[in-house]
Amino acid sequence: MGGKNKQRTKGNVRPSSSGRAADLLARESGVAPGFVGFGVSTSSDPGYVPAVQGAEEIDNLVDADFRMVLRKLSKRDAVTKLKAVQEFGAICQERQPDVVKGVLPYWPRIYCRISMDHDRRVREATQQAFEQLVLKVKRNLAPYLKSIMGHWLISQCDTYSPAASAASAAFQAAFPLNKQPEAISFCKDEVLNVLQDNLLKETADTLSDPQSVPEEEREAKYIRLLTCSLLALKRLLNILPEQDRELLKERLTQLITQGKFWKYSKHKTPQVRAFFELIATMCADAPQLIQAEAARACSAVLLSIDDTDPVVLPPLWEAVLHILSCIDNCWTHVSARKGVMPKLWVLLKEGGRGLATSLHPNLLPFISKLPAEVTQPNLEFSRTFLTSVIQGLSSDRATSSPSESAAIIFATMECLRFIILQNAGDEQEQRNIQNMLISEQLLPLIDRALGNPSLQTGPLFPQVSDMLLSWEKRVAGKETPTFQRLLSDFWEGLGHLCTTYVDCEEAKQTALEGIASLLQIMHNPNSASKQTKKKKTVKICFTDKEDRGQGEEPPRETPVVEEQHCPLRNGHLLDLLCQLAELNMVYVSELESERHLRFLSQLLGAFPSPQVFQVLLRPEEMKPEMGPELRPLAENTAVYFLLQRVTVWLKQDDRKDTDFLVDMLFSSLQCCSSSDDKTLILNHISRDLNWSVTLQLIEKACADPVHLGVCVGWLRGPVLGERLVGLAGELCVMGLRGSPSSSSHHAHGWPLISLALSQQHNNEPLIGKAYVKQIIDKLHATLSEAKGMSDAGNMEPLLTFISDVAATFFSSVKGCLLLASAEELLMTVFQLCAQDQIFTHLSDALLLKLQHAYTAGIQSLITHLGAGATKGTLLHNIGLWVKSQLFTIPLTVKSLQVLVQAVESLAQTIASAQNTSCLLSQFICCLTPTEEEWSCVRRALPPQVLKPFTFTQAKQAVSTAGLLLAVEIMRFLCWMVDHSPTVLGNTHWDLLLCSMLAWLETASENSSMFWNPWVQLFVCANCELIVRLSDFFTSPPAGVQEQLPPELNSEWKEFFLEGIHNLLLSLLIKIPARSKQQAREASSSSSLGEALTYIPVELLTQNKLPPRFVADQRSSLPEPLQTLLNTLSPLLLFKARPLQLAVYHILHKYRLSWTAGFCIALRSPPAALMSILSATEELLENILGGVQVGEFAVVQPLSMEHCFILGYLLAWKLLFTFFKASSSHLRAQYSLHLKKTRSLHKLLLHLFRLMPENPSVPGQPAEPSSKEPKTFFTESLSLAPRKTDGLQFEVPHLACSVYYGALKDLPAMVRLWWNSQEKRVFSTVDKFTSKYVSGVLSAQEIASVQSSTQTFENMMVKARSATREVIATYSVDDIFIELLIQLPQNYPLGSISVESGRRVGVAVQQWRNWMLQLSTYLTHQNGSILEGLSLWKNNVDKRFEGVEDCMICFSVIHGSNYSLPKKACRTCKKKFHSACLYKWFTSSNKSTCPLCRETFF
């Protein structure tokens, strides 16, 4: 508005500002400003954002962070917009409300644009950010509400559910539920303007720029906007109060009179046909509008009745029903016979085309609203309608989907019942309809179901039963003749149908089962309650109010009151049952038909009625001939049938399947009223029943409470109990003899015994307690007898059965161990498990079964009975037996091992089952010898146990047993330390620790015997004990420290720790000296290495290794430290992986001390490590030289190549650790050394041959998940010496770890190497780093800035993870500087960009110099961003302190060596950096001052 130097008008003390003008206009008019003369548009024009007007003009209105974010929101890139929106929400959440309010004038235009963005992530993030804005500004949003409400409502109807949910959440955050209608009403005109423009004016090309947006994207955005606008209009009508809808009536009329609006009903995109939802809402909330456009509405809705898109069908049928209710003369606008009904018939015949669950619940309301002119003639209409619906059951979808089939069945039965109610008169036409419904529809449908098992399990039979019950209720009313006739016709037809299926020698099993199921459901509807509950939302309950006039709509969702859950009240069902049973019995008696016998069992199971049993007996069979006890009972026809028929069938020898006959037995017993009678009958029947039938009888009784109540007297009676005791004895005798028993005994005897012992009823044994005790006694006696027998026969099956029975008994029956015989059995089982298999002759499989049995018994004993270990208890007796075995029986090493393992397993079981630790302590006390017993042990032990062992070749045979005994003692001590350290007293700990140290000293003195595998086993067990003790004393379990002897911890630290690790260090050095046997000694080195990882740093500094120095090696380190480095570093290349890793862990642990020592005088990294690198570089070149950079070289685990590469990479990891701990000026020196030797150059080339092309961690799921995939760069590297699995991934993972360390600690050098590579390598490195490393490294760099506790005077640093930005603000006095550091996508290969923020009081040239300096520091220094900022701050501080810049590099602090300008010219007095002068002199070939050109002295 005029020139820069133009005179300002007098009195105008403030410059003009477009931002303030926009704010003023918005506050006065309540509309977000566009350019002057233009209103708010819904198109995607860029609109006003602060960046357009310049940052300087709106400093007072918009915060700097908001200004930067709003500038990014105008970008086209979706990722940029997404990050900007996320950052906008984060800033809104962090800043104060007064700051956030400044952005409100510019938010509406931006929101209206990005809320309709093509990228769904942007839309979701926009709504989430909007919620944060709303929570901050609250009521201050009101002036801008009208300009955003339209798009806000559209966003709540977004087709992407997360975006819609986020918009709704923002809306609820702004307005409570009771205020939402008021807010919508306030903006209703503006909302309708937006929706009307979207529906009538906008096109795909007006919404998006055709020149820059692809056609597919433009069309998708337009379709989405149409869909959301239609749904938003529906939502608007739903929310608005009635008076507001009246105010919009005229404008809504303008909308629906447009032809384009009605064309949406035929739109090719299903989403747009959500139009029908809007029509249904209009019919409900604004019926006058639809009635005014009745012709168009009826045509659009009713003629689309065959639309079967899954998205469209539910709202379409809702609209159909609303149209029928809303428009009285709707059928005058369309032809029902030609345009609507033919489409419906086709749709129904095809089963709704897979949408029956959505379509068919609407059929009953639909036909109930049809006028007479549409349904005439009623007979043909009803026949066509129901035939079409039932035919849909044959469709592919209905036959394969139970839910589809059920929906069709429900609709069929509901409509059939409705049509019958509508035609319940006695006129001829009504009778014809009734006959048609029964004979042509209902009975054929039942016939179809009898041949189809899936229909039998569906809702058809319960629906038929429900319908019959309702008809019977109506018989008592005024419609008695009609419903009597209906019932009579139905039962007559059903009887004929069932008789047809039953009266056939080859009757179909499916049909017979279907008939039985139908009759059972009719008799007891509760048996099908699951089916009746499936569709309660669409179930129609026809009550007495249903006899209203024709045309009235029945209620669609009437609460279902099932008072008819009772048997049918007339005799039709019983007559049919008797008829079928009598017919069925003919085939059973005369033809011995098995399928008819099964059918009879099903009938009797459903109807245990005396009348049915009566027809099953012939007249000549009615005279009972039996004993005096049963003669009175035989008067009952059911009992007589059981005794004369069922029992005979059960005892047939050639009958294999008796399951259904047992069901028939229970059906007969249900007709007995007295429990004593039932027990008497069962006692009579079971005396000579086959064991298989007895087993089935008990199994069915246990499975059904009703059956159990019938049998409980028999189960606990003497007849069954004595039979079972006899069976157990017979089985045991046969097993001891080893003779094969009958198949029935083996197949059913043991399962029967197990079942009888394991089941309970009312917390009592299933059979009598006395019989349980007798059976357990027999099992125990048999097991005890078998324990002492060796070759008396094959007892494996016998013991297997007994162990299975015992395990089931112990685990199933609570309180089972209250029986003394059960406790004795458990004791015997444990004794078998604790003895050597040489003596017990048990197989491994049988031993596992016995272990399972006693484990179950011990758990039951502790869990249910709260057992103790006091005198006389089972655990106390076990402890006494174990000690007796140790003291009185000569045990071999194997026998001792078995005994120790059994006791250890028992202790673990006790530890896992107990609630407190006291029981385990008591048990261990039982095992602990008394003082007298200890003295006996000491006298009995051989001398080598009490003295240090000597492993000489002469005594090899003698010492092996002693070694193995010592190994077992060590293992037991390990277990004690892990599980029960508090049991050990002061003397026990002294014995343990002194023995451990003595064993280690012996091993060290006899290291020449390490070739012996028994010696290696001894060393490994000793090291394992050291590891357990180190773990224990490093972090003791909670509450244990207080219970230990008071001096134990100090003794460990002051005496044992030093002795242990000095011996371990010496052993570690001795193993490599024996290089010829190193393959054999790998296990020893692994154990030693793991034990040495616990060595304290102090012991490393004071190690007692023999001195080892290298000639001409410059070092100012203490002698022990230099010796440690020179001794251990070469072991990184030792050809045993565990030893290599142990050395790495030791040197890594001591990194701080030796780094501090080197920092004193050295100009290069440690010579010991550099010698490792130089020794292996040539080897790696020979191994990997043939592999191109970027290809993956597979390294065979544990090969020679694997050892060399592993040592090389471990040395580099140690070098990076050393480098990271050095100061910044020393890092520059070390970088120069690495650059000079080209070591890093060679490393990086090798790494890109060792890293896989896809460094994903193996074992991840194939399908993508929301989480980032795990790679070798995101997961930590495990370098455990004992690791054995996944070794093929160790070198690739280690290579990735080393590359990550190089990028993190030496970014400038890696960047320099990358820029010097050829094009192929350059591209390979860039792609790999960008894809797998940059994101992880950038996130860690940003996180380190955010979590840093380092503080800078006069400078504040903060980071933004979403945008990879670091912002540094430097302020001193009146000077204010803001810098924005942006990490590149391929960080750290790409250059870090430094952008300017705000600055105050700094000249432009100085500002540029400082930005250049910061960029230089960040690019050329090998460190983090915080370190670069620290250097830059020091440079600026020095500048303010008066230190002049070097006139060559124009910086106070040198960019590489971080020195100050110290070399001054004698003439001009200017100071320069030494490095800058050297470069100046060498490049110019002159020795003059760069500034004054005088000779520089």
Number of H helices, E strands in the chain: 77, 8
pLDDT value at 1216 more than 70 = yes
Decide: helix, strand or coil at residue 112.
helix
pLDDT value at 447 more than 80 = yes
pLDDT value at 310 more than 70 = yes
Predicted local distance difference test score (pLDDT) of residue 632? 62
Q: Tens of pLDDT along 1237-1284?
A: 888 888 888 888 888 888 888 877 655 555 678 888 888 888 877 677
CA gyration radius for the chain? 47
Q: Tens of pLDDT along 640-650?
A: 777 778 777 87
pLDDT band at 564 (very low <50, low <70, confident <90, very high): very low
Predicted local distance difference test score (pLDDT) of residue 1433? 74
**1105, 1126 Cβ separation under 8 angstroms:** no
Mean pLDDT of 1448-1469: 75
- What DSSP string runs through 341-352? HHHHHHHHHTGG
| Cα 1367 from Cα 1369, distance rounded (Å) | 7
Predicted local distance difference test score (pLDDT) of residue 915? 63
Dihedral angle sign, alpha carbons of residues 1214, 1216, 1220, 1222: positive
| Cα 1037 from Cα 1045, distance rounded (Å) | 15
Q: Cite the beta strand spans of 826-936 per DSSP E.
A: none
Q: Tens of pLDDT along 227-285?
A: 999 999 999 999 998 888 888 888 898 988 998 899 988 889 888 888 899 999 999 88
Stated pTM of the model: 0.58
pLDDT value at 763 more than 60 = yes
pLDDT band at 550 (very low <50, low <70, confident <90, very high): very low
pLDDT value at 507 more than 60 = yes
Letter for the amino acid at 1321? V
Mean pLDDT of 573-592: 83
Q: Tens of pLDDT along 393-423?
A: 998 888 888 999 999 999 999 999 999 988 8
Q: Cite the beta strand spans of 1343-1420 per DSSP E.
A: 1355-1360, 1365-1372, 1375-1382, 1393-1400
Q: Tens of pLDDT along 907-961?
A: 888 877 766 557 777 777 777 777 777 677 666 655 544 444 544 333 343 357 7
Tally Cβ neighbours within 10 Å of residue 938. 10
pLDDT band at 1204 (very low <50, low <70, confident <90, very high): confident
Region of poorest pLDDT, from 246-255, 446-455, 1072-1081: 1072-1081
Letter for the amino acid at 575? D
Q: Which residues contact 831 (CB under 8 A, 6 or more apart)?
A: 787, 881
| Cα 376 from Cα 1051, distance rounded (Å) | 106
In this structure, what token pair is assigned to residue 1337? 């490294």
Mean pLDDT of 643-670: 78
Best mean pLDDT range from 255-259, 524-528, 1304-1308: 255-259
Cis peptide before 1388 (omega within 30 of 0): yes
pLDDT band at 125 (very low <50, low <70, confident <90, very high): very high
Decide: helix, strand or coil at residue 1409.
helix
Report the mean per-residue pLDDT for the chain: 78
- What DSSP string runs through 619-634? GGG-S----TTTTTGG
